[in-house]
Amino acid sequence: MALTFEMKERDGLGRLCILRTAHGPVTTPALLPVINPNKMTIPPSQMKQEFGAEMIITNSYIIRRGPELRERALKDGVHKLVEFDGPIMTDSGAFQAYVYGSDKDQRSDSVQILPSEIVEFQRDIGVDIGTILDVITPRDATYEEAKKDVDETLARAKATVGLKGNMALNGTVQGSVYPDLREDCARALGELDIDVHPIGGVVPFLEAYRYGDLARAIIAAKKGLPPSRPVHLFGAGHPHFLSIAVLLGCDLFDSSSYMKYALDDRMMFNDGTRHFGDLDHLGCNCPVCSSHTVEELRKMQKPERLVLLARHNLHVLFGKIRAIRQAIHEERLWEMAERDARAHPALLEVMRVLGSEGEFLERFEQTSRACAFMHTGPESRLRPIVRRYRDRLLKRYSLPKALANYVLPETTKPYSDYCIKHLEHLEKHGVHFVVESYFGPAPLELDLMYPIAQSMSGSISEEERKELFVLWAKLEEANGITFEKWTEAAARSAEKAKGKGLDIDLLRMTAVASMQFGPKAAKALLKGKLEYVKSREGRIRNVIVDGEHVLSLRAHDGMFTLKAAGAKRIASAVKSPQLRVIADKDSAPFVAEGKNLFCKFVVDCDPELRPGDEAVIVDPDDKVLAVGRLLMNREEMRSFKVGVAVKNREHA
C-alpha cells in the first residue's frame, strides 16, 4: 500500500490523522505549499525548515511540458528536481485544461495530454501522490453539463487507476453546485483503488463568497466517500475557511495563494486579506510582522517585499493549521469554526447549512467532550450535540411517575446544587422538576450530564423559544403529562398532597443510563439491589448492583463508564448488534486478553453507537470479550485499514 491513514484524535468530522507515505509521515490537517517548479521563490527546504511543511505540491503538467524539467524529473526523480526529501503531491494539469482548454479544443495553448500519459508520467518521476486528469466544471454549468463532466472524470479514473504502480493516487470529486452529483461522483470514486480525494472546482465558490454552496459540496462528497480516505480541499488555502473545512472533514489543503497574493501585494489575515497599501499597522505577530514596520516594507524594492509578504502569508496559514490541530486536541473545533465564520456574513451562512445537515453530522459526533460547551452565538444551538440531546430526550428518556411535573427557569449550574429546596420537595413530596435549559427541557436528575452542566450558555432567541416550545409539548405528549408552573401555591399543595417521595439517586442513574444506552439496557443494568460509592462531595461514583460493580459515573461529563459486569447485563438484555462491536475470530482471543480492537478486525458494530460511546465487544458468536470505548462510529471502523477502533478498558 502506498499510503496509510490513521486517525489519532477527532472532534466530530474534524480529525487529526497521520498520513504515512513512502517519504515519511504527515500530520493532518496539513497545508501543502504549492511549488512552482520553474520559480521556487521560497524553496521547499525552507518550507520545511521555517514553516514546518511536511508535504508540498507541485504541478506534473508544468514539469512535463518543459523539456528540461521533464528530462531532469525523469532522470533524477521529482524529489531531486525540487530538492525536497518529504512526500510530494502533484496536480495533473486539470486546472490548466480548465483555463486554457483541452486537446480537443485545438487551441495553440490548449492542454495536449492524455489522461493515461499524465498518470504514467507522475508515477515515473516518483511522485508520492499523483492526480488523475479530472474535468473541472465551469461555474455556471447546467446540471447536465456538470453530470457529463462527472461521467468523464469517472471514466478517466477507471481507465487510469490501474497505471498508478507504487504511487498513491488523487481521485478528484467533481459535480459543481449539485450535491447529488458530488455524492454520486464521490461514491463511485470511493469504489476504486484510489488513495486520496481532492474536492475540485471549489475556487469559483470561494471567489464568489458562496460559502454555503461550498459547505454543501464538501458534505455531499463526504457522504459518498469512504471515511478512511483523506480528503483534500483543492485550492482553498484561505485562513478564514480552514477551520470550517476541517470541521466538515477535510484533511489536506494546498496554497498557491501565499505567493499569488504576495505578487499582488496582498497579505492574508485570519479575518480576510488586505492590500499592503491599505495597511498602516501590521496586525499580526508573525516573525515578518513583528520585525518590520509598514514604513520599512513600503520603502523596500518589490522583489524584497514579495518574499517577506509570501513568508507572512505562509506563517498565517501554518499558524492557523497548528491552531486547528490544537482545537481538535481540545475538542473545541466547533467554537473555532463559529468564531471564524464571523469573518464575513456569507461565512455565517455555512453554520446554517451545518444545522440542516445535523442528521449526518450527528453520526460522527462524540459522546461528550473534555471541555465545556461554549456558546458563541445563535448558531451554537445548531451543533449536533444539541440535536442529539433533544432527540434522545424524546426517544430514550421517560419522566418518572411523579405527583406533578414543574418547570423551573434556567439557573446556575449544576442545577441540583442551587435547587436545594426543589430537591427536598422531590425527595419528600414526589414532585418532579424540569429546567428550561439552553439545550431544551433538562430534568433535574440529568443536571450533571454533558452538556447540561458542562456549558457556558447564552441567551435564547424568540425563534428558539418557539422551537423549544414544540419540544416541551412533545415531551408532555410522549409522557402523557402536563407541565405546570412552580409557584408558592404549588409548593404548599405538594406539601399537603403527601405523595410518595422520589429517590433522586435512582432517578439520576435511570435517566443517565437511558440517555446513554437506551431504556432497555438501562433497565437491565440497574435491575437488582442498588448500592452507591459516593465522592466526598456526595456525588455518585460507582454503581453496585446485587453486589457487582456495574457502572462508574465519570466526574467530568456525568456519564457512565461500563464495567464488565454491566457489559454482560447488556449483552443478555439487548439483541446483537445493539450496543456491541463484533470482533472477528482471529482477534477475539487478543481482545479477551485486554488488547485494543483494531479497525481491520471489526466485523460489525451497532450503527447507533458514536465515537466515545461505551460498548460491549463480542466475538462473532456474541460471546462477551471485553468492554471498550469507541474511537470511531460504525462507518469509520469498517472503512479504516489501520488504527484502533475500540479502546479496550476491561476484558470479560
Contact 147, 188 (CB under 8 A): no
Nearer to its own copies, 283 or 589 (CB): 283
As a dihedral over the C-alpha atoms of residue 180, residue 181, residue 186, residue 189, rounded to 10 degrees, the angle is 140
- Considering only residues 63 through 92, tell me which ones interact with its own copies, judged by CB under 8 A: none
* Residue 139 burial (C-beta neighbours within 10 Å; 0-12, 13-18, 19+): middle
- Considering only residues 252 through 311, tell me which ones interact with its own copies, judged by CB under 8 A: 269, 271, 278-287, 289-291, 293
Nearer to its own copies, 36 or 291 (CB): 291
Nearest distance, CB of residue 381 and its own copies, angstroms: 13
- The answer to whether 339 contacts its own copies (rule: CB under 8 A) is yes
- The answer to whether 50 contacts its own copies (rule: CB under 8 A) is yes
Nearest distance, CB of residue 438 and its own copies, angstroms: 10
- The answer to whether 234 contacts its own copies (rule: CB under 8 A) is no
Three-class DSSP labels, 107-131: CCCCECCCHHHHHHHHHHCCCCEEE
Nearest distance, CB of residue 411 and its own copies, angstroms: 16
Contact 205, 340 (CB under 8 A): no
Can you list the positions of beta strands (E) in 92-200? 129-131, 168-170, 197-199
Among 101, 355, 377, 519, binds its own copies (CB under 8 A): 377
CA torsion through residues 628, 634, 635, 641, sign: positive
- The answer to whether 322 contacts its own copies (rule: CB under 8 A) is yes
- The answer to whether 337 contacts its own copies (rule: CB under 8 A) is no
Nearest distance, CB of residue 331 and its own copies, angstroms: 12
Alpha-carbon span 361 to 348, nearest angstrom: 18
Nearest distance, CB of residue 260 and its own copies, angstroms: 20
Among 326, 482, 487, 572, binds its own copies (CB under 8 A): 326
Nearer to its own copies, 380 or 587 (CB): 380
Among 315, 369, 390, 634, binds its own copies (CB under 8 A): 315
- The answer to whether 238 contacts its own copies (rule: CB under 8 A) is no
Nearer to its own copies, 6 or 50 (CB): 50
CA torsion through residues 494, 499, 505, 508, sign: negative
Nearer to its own copies, 22 or 555 (CB): 555
Nearest distance, CB of residue 48 and its own copies, angstroms: 13
Contact 221, 173 (CB under 8 A): yes
Could you give the residue ranges of the DSSP H alpha helices within 375-498?
384-395, 415-418, 420-429, 462-479, 488-497
Nearest distance, CB of residue 142 and its own copies, angstroms: 23
* Residue the block writes with cell 471514466: 155
264 annotated active-site: no
Among 358, 414, 458, 528, binds its own copies (CB under 8 A): 458
Nearer to its own copies, 128 or 338 (CB): 338
Number of neighbouring beta carbons within 10 Å of residue 145: 13
Q: Per CB under 8 A, which region of 329-337, 357-365, 607-615, 633-641 contacts its own copies? A: 329-337
Binding mask 466-485 for its own copies (x = CB under 8 A): x-------------------
- Which run of H or of E encompasses 7? strand 4-11
What region does 222 belong to: left with phi over 0, alpha with psi -120 to 50, or beta? alpha
Pick the catalytic residue from 91, 134, 149, 254. Answer: 91
Give the CA count within 13 Å in the CB-facing half-sphere of 498.
0
Alpha-carbon span 391 to 512, nearest angstrom: 14
- The answer to whether 319 contacts its own copies (rule: CB under 8 A) is yes
Name the 3-class secondary structure at 241: helix
| Local structure of residue 105 (DSSP, 8 states) | G
Among 324, 431, 574, 624, binds its own copies (CB under 8 A): 324
| Local structure of residue 357 (DSSP, 8 states) | T
Nearest distance, CB of residue 240 and its own copies, angstroms: 11
Nearest distance, CB of residue 422 and its own copies, angstroms: 25
Among 124, 151, 330, 650, binds its own copies (CB under 8 A): 330
- The answer to whether 348 contacts its own copies (rule: CB under 8 A) is yes
What are the beta bridge partners of residue 485? Answer: 407
CA torsion through residues 177, 183, 184, 188, sign: positive
- The answer to whether 318 contacts its own copies (rule: CB under 8 A) is yes
Residues labelled as active-site residues: 91
Q: Which residues bind its own copies (CB under 8 A)?
A: 50-52, 269, 271, 278-287, 289-291, 293, 315-316, 318-320, 322-327, 329-330, 335-336, 338-339, 342-346, 348, 374-378, 456-458, 461-463, 466
